[in-house]
A and B are shown apart, each in its own frame.
Chain A
Amino acid sequence: MKSAVIVFPASNCDRDAAVALKQMTGNAPHMVWHQEKDLPDVDLVVLPGGFSYGDYLRSGAMASQSAVMRAVKTHADKGGAVLGICNGFQVLTESHLLPGALMRNAELKFVCRPVTMTVEETQNVFTRKYSSGQNVTFPVAHGDGNYVADDETLDRLEGEGRVVFRYTPGHNPNGSARNIAGILSEKRNVLGLMPHPERVVDPLLGGTDGRALFESLIETLS
């Protein structure tokens, strides 16, 4: 599997994503600067966590207007896989590659802690190596992770099996509607989630629950 990690100014989980990809796939990903107009020939594009452009406007809003995002949209339109983690998820909603928006956490504070989620959908390139209904623990680290969308959109996401990760009751760290932690695009090739799978691929760092996400991608895209 060939992959690329997009680097916006003040992305800060770009290295973490690259380390996880290297560890899981054996190949270092291409690191692609936000001003690039074209993507290298890759199977997977990762939009990493961080504070792109300082997130001084709405989180992800500036990044969604960057040159590279036009190329990412083209990649997604052609069915290429796109994984947006944390700030990457925010960029995906701001770019309308995923519906809804990510608002300030309900408690109005940044929150960093491991959270437990249920993997609700496994019929996609990102989670096929998990079992449906499995509980996994990934860390969150964000201030704006409160997923909101209108009821119609939420009903549709649930009806179409596009809610991939849902916080288990009592573990919703940010007030997200219907405990949603991660969602798929209509064509199921774009996944955005607030928790960090790339931080749980090494047992020393608090768990390996994120490995199956990368293994799913490798199995499908290689």
Chain B
Amino acid sequence: MTEITPELVAEHGLSDDEYGRIKRLLNREPSLVELGIFSVMWSEHCSYKSTRIHLRKLPTKAPWVLQGPGENAGVIDIGDGDACIFKMESHNHPSFIEPYQGAATGVGGIMRDVFTMGARPIAMMNALRFGEPSHPKTRHLVSGVVSGIGGYGNCMGVPTVGGEVNFHKSYNGNILVNAMCVGLARKDKIFLSAAEGAGNPVVYIGSKTGRDGIHGATMASAEFSEDSEEKRPTVQVGDPFTEKLLLEACLELMATDAIIAIQDMGAAGLTSSSSEMAGKGGSGIELDLDHVPQREANLTAYEMMLSESQERMLAVLKPGREAEAEAIFRKWELDFAVIGVTTDTHRLVVKHKGAIVADMPVTALSDEAPLYERPFAKRPTAAGKPSFDATRPVLTSLKTILAAPDMCSRRWVWEQYDYSVMADTVQWPGGDAAVVRVHNSNKGLAISTDVSPRYCRADPYEGAKQAVAEAWRNITAVGAKPLAVTDNLNFGNPEKPEIMGEIVAGIEGIAEACRALDFPVIGGNCSLYNETNGEAILPTPTIGGVGLLHDVHRMATLALKREGDAILLVGDTKGHLGQSIYLREIEGREEGACPPIDLAAEKRAGNFVRQLIEDGRVDTVHDVSDGGVLVAVAEMALAGDIGVEIGVAGTAETIPFFFGEDQGRYVVAAAPDVVDKIDGELREIGVVHAIIGRTSKNKVLHIEREGAIALSTLRTAHESWFPHYMAGEAIPASN
């Protein structure tokens, strides 16, 4: 038997204290297999040991929430017996090491989280953060991640309908790949992971087990250094073909009533799925690894328990239903094996070649996992009102901003994703929120992923509030009622008090905004230790929001639609330039306070705009976010290929008015008589607003006293950067 040395303990990412705790829980030294099991289950990735006490602050309940955090994904009620199941999860570390497979398996993993609950995945989103474009690795990483997401999602036949792509030097050594899956199930056919009862067969389904991904969860719980690429063998390889078969086979099995519990084998594979199912079910599980379908000869028990081979599921069946289930999996040419049985011992017992190689209390792995109240220090937030050169011409700046890496068209990215398969995508990428129709109905689900990491760096609390508010606003802007969110908290090393301070403030900011906006958190994922050589990423709490559209025929899009419409700006414009895109792209500075979020004003303006859309009075809406109001209007003009005349309104100075990033605002376009009436109603309810222009027949964007710029010029600027950059061509000068 392998001797457990201090070095071996350290290699498993366990502290001395944690090792002591293991010995106390077992009343003896662990075997190597047990050490491996503890190391993955107690990793940050699986145990949330640094964040658990703070995550409790999040609001997770609402009358429409059917399942909150703690299952494979969250579930909301969307009426008519339908349920929407969704979750977002990161695959950051593997994607940096091997971008195609890292991103592909991230997509596959999150899809399994959703279909293991009985849902058919109907839409995918992703939020991607890369290093600065000039960094030598960035192009390769963008190319690999985008093709990996497409390669997996396209083969699955699930539309990838939107997301985010941003660049910042803080991600040079640690990119973020956050993938979100949204699925649809019947409310009364939702499958959970609690393995209740003793004597029930535990079955293994899907692909065979190999040596890939061993210790992936532990890797995801440590900082990177320059030799991280040596960890390439810990990245799993995806097989979307098998996953597609697994999806169809699982849904076919779920149509029967043979399943007691089911869970995908994600991070920490067989270990986490078996121990979590037993833990939730209050039972025990006995596994015999001799029956595990194996891809390679001579796999050890240690390797089998820690393998993260993809496209595998573990299920507990009702006794006597094995043959029926097996027939379904054989039809789909997948492996199926009874590998164990549930027990009433509350222990996880693992046998291999006739010997017991692990025998531990299930609670030791979950309830008894370490829980840290790590010290945290709140950094002073960035403050102040930055200066700017008031003489710069507005339209030239607009063109520069529309061509900036963070602001230009993402067409190069989303055209590699099949966004229209399943024939229900009613709002494509490029809008405020993606909208997919609920099959065979007029209902729609609006989905958006949002976060502005530069705001979070300036003020983690307000920045996190802003991420929630922006998701809520994007969903509102298409006419949908925001219902719930999944959060993907990407931060640096929680053992550093200032990073822990960002995490705590971020969670508290999310909690406040979600509470104020009736937008509960129903699931999520923490990705910590996003650091390379001691440099942390910008705090990036990505929010994935889902809302319900009662009738997809009454939906707003951002494209201008008619000449002669009045353009109305809803919400208060104070001209906040701190942390704005304008300041960064035009003045070359990242400074000042981030825009404050007034959640009451947010809600008032948003509810009003949504009602306009629901009542069929308005069909053209765009939220105002990065870049400010002029960028929003320009995006609307480009999308509709309709010109705009803008009269400078209000008393704010020109540049802050056009480029300030005050929150809680929308641009609405409608016939002048409709806007006149809306104007009166907004006055009555006290929402600040202004009519700032009208659409015109000339295909130009014209601003009083500033001049005009052709839409074709703006379009070329907006569309060129990404393809030129990816082709390795010189980027045309933007001025």
Interchain nearest-CB distance for B298 vs A (Å): 27
Q: Which residues does chain A contribute within 8 Å of B147, judged by CB atoms?
A: 109-110
Interchain nearest-CB distance for B601 vs A (Å): 33
**A33: nearest chain-B partner, CB-CB:** B331
Interface residue A139 (Cβ < 8 Å from any Cβ of B): yes
Q: Is the CB of B154 within 8 A of A110?
A: yes
**B150: nearest chain-A partner, CB-CB:** A110
Q: Is the CB of B420 within 8 A of A111?
A: no
Q: Is the CB of A9 within 8 A of B333?
A: yes
**B154: nearest chain-A partner, CB-CB:** A110
Q: Is the CB of B421 within 8 A of A53?
A: no
Alpha-carbon distance between A204 and B414 when the two chains are bound, in angstroms: 20
> B-facing mask of A196-222, CB < 8 A → 1, else 0?
101100101110000000000000000
> B-facing mask of A18-49, CB < 8 A → 1, else 0?
01100000000000000000000000000001
Q: Is the CB of B421 within 8 A of A12?
A: yes
Which among A110, A113, A199 has the highest number of chain B CB atoms within 10 Å?
A110
Alpha-carbon distance between A51 and B418 when the two chains are bound, in angstroms: 12
> A-facing mask of B238-271, CB < 8 A → 1, else 0?
0111101100000000000000000000000000
Among the listed B240, B419, B420, B428, which residue makes an inter-chain contact with A54, where contact means beta carbons less than 8 Å apart?
B240
Alpha-carbon distance between A53 and B241 when the two chains are bound, in angstroms: 7
> A-facing mask of B415-430, CB < 8 A → 1, else 0?
1111111111110100
Q: Is the CB of A112 within 8 A of B420?
A: yes
**B120: nearest chain-A partner, CB-CB:** A15
Interchain nearest-CB distance for A18 vs B (Å): 10
Interface residue B649 (Cβ < 8 Å from any Cβ of A): no
Interchain nearest-CB distance for B704 vs A (Å): 36
Q: Which residues does chain B contribute within 8 Å of A54, judged by CB atoms?
A: 155, 239-242
Q: Which residues does chain A contribute within 8 Å of B23, judged by CB atoms?
A: none
Q: Is the CB of A10 within 8 A of B420?
A: no
Interface residue B478 (Cβ < 8 Å from any Cβ of A): no
Q: Which residues does chain A contribute within 8 Å of B437, judged by CB atoms?
A: 204
- Supposing A16-B423, A53-B241, A54-B239 touch, asked if A141 and B416 sit within 8 A by C-beta, the answer is no
Interface residue B167 (Cβ < 8 Å from any Cβ of A): no
Interface residue B133 (Cβ < 8 Å from any Cβ of A): no
Q: Is the CB of A9 within 8 A of B245?
A: yes
Interface residue B646 (Cβ < 8 Å from any Cβ of A): no
> B-facing mask of A95-132, CB < 8 A → 1, else 0?
00000000000000111110000000000000000000
Q: Is the CB of B332 within 8 A of A12?
A: no
Alpha-carbon distance between A15 and B184 when the two chains are bound, in angstroms: 15
Interchain nearest-CB distance for B437 vs A (Å): 7
Interface residue A13 (Cβ < 8 Å from any Cβ of B): yes
Q: Which residues in window 143-174 of B have CB below 8 A to A?
A: 147, 150-151, 154-157
Considering only CB atoms and an 8 Å cut-off, how many residues of chain A contact the other chain? 30
Interchain nearest-CB distance for A21 vs B (Å): 12
Interface residue B553 (Cβ < 8 Å from any Cβ of A): yes
Among the listed A55, A139, A204, which residue makes an inter-chain contact with B426, where contact means beta carbons less than 8 Å apart?
A204
Q: Which residues in window 167-222 of A have CB below 8 A to B?
A: 196, 198-199, 202, 204-206
Q: Which residues does chain A contribute within 8 Å of B553, judged by CB atoms?
A: 204
Interface residue B511 (Cβ < 8 Å from any Cβ of A): no
Alpha-carbon distance between A54 and B421 when the two chains are bound, in angstroms: 16
Q: Which residues does chain A contribute within 8 Å of B421, judged by CB atoms?
A: 12-13, 16, 49, 141, 199
**A204: nearest chain-B partner, CB-CB:** B426
Q: Which residues in window 401-423 of B have CB below 8 A to A?
A: 414-423
Q: Which residues does chain B contribute within 8 Å of A20, judged by CB atoms?
A: 423
Among the listed B151, B155, B552, which residue makes an inter-chain contact with A12, where contact means beta carbons less than 8 Å apart?
B155
Q: Is the CB of A9 within 8 A of B154?
A: no
Alpha-carbon distance between A205 and B421 when the two chains are bound, in angstroms: 11
Interchain nearest-CB distance for A19 vs B (Å): 6
- Supposing A10-B244, A13-B157, A51-B155 touch, asked if A205 and B422 sit within 8 A by C-beta, the answer is no
Q: Is the CB of A51 within 8 A of B154?
A: yes
Q: Which residues does chain B contribute within 8 Å of A16, judged by CB atoms?
A: 421-423
Alpha-carbon distance between A112 and B426 when the two chains are bound, in angstroms: 15
Interchain nearest-CB distance for A17 vs B (Å): 9
Q: Which residues does chain B contribute within 8 Å of A56, judged by CB atoms?
A: 241
Alpha-carbon distance between A205 and B425 when the two chains are bound, in angstroms: 6
Q: Is the CB of B332 within 8 A of A9?
A: yes
Q: Is the CB of A12 within 8 A of B420?
A: no
**A52: nearest chain-B partner, CB-CB:** B241
Q: Is the CB of A112 within 8 A of B425?
A: no
Alpha-carbon distance between A20 and B552 when the two chains are bound, in angstroms: 19
Which among A53, A196, A204 has the highest number of chain B CB atoms within 10 Å?
A204
Q: Which residues in window 116-172 of A have CB below 8 A to B?
A: 139, 141, 143
Q: Is the CB of B552 within 8 A of A204?
A: yes
Interface residue A50 (Cβ < 8 Å from any Cβ of B): yes
Among the listed A10, A55, A109, A198, which residue makes an inter-chain contact with B423, where contact means beta carbons less than 8 Å apart?
A198
Alpha-carbon distance between A132 and B154 when the two chains are bound, in angstroms: 33
Among the listed B155, B417, B419, B422, which residue makes an inter-chain contact with A10, where contact means beta carbons less than 8 Å apart?
B155
Which among B157, B239, B333, B437 has the highest number of chain A CB atoms within 10 Å?
B157
**A23: nearest chain-B partner, CB-CB:** B423
**A7: nearest chain-B partner, CB-CB:** B248
**B429: nearest chain-A partner, CB-CB:** A112
Q: Which residues does chain A contribute within 8 Å of B426, judged by CB atoms?
A: 204-205
Q: Is the CB of A110 within 8 A of B241?
A: no
Alpha-carbon distance between A109 and B422 when the two chains are bound, in angstroms: 21
Which A residues have a C-beta under 8 Å from some C-beta of B? Answer: 9-10, 12-13, 15-16, 19-20, 49-51, 53-56, 109-113, 139, 141, 143, 196, 198-199, 202, 204-206
Identify 18 new A-B residue pairs, CB closer than 8 A, beyond the known A51-B157, A110-B151, A110-B416.
Answer: A10-B155, A10-B240, A10-B241, A10-B245, A12-B157, A13-B157, A20-B423, A54-B155, A56-B241, A112-B416, A112-B418, A112-B419, A141-B154, A141-B418, A198-B423, A205-B420, A205-B426, A206-B428
List 18 A-B residue pairs with CB atoms under 8 Å apart, sorted by A's residue number: A10-B244, A12-B157, A12-B421, A19-B423, A51-B155, A51-B157, A55-B241, A56-B241, A110-B417, A111-B415, A112-B416, A112-B419, A112-B420, A141-B418, A196-B420, A199-B421, A204-B437, A205-B426
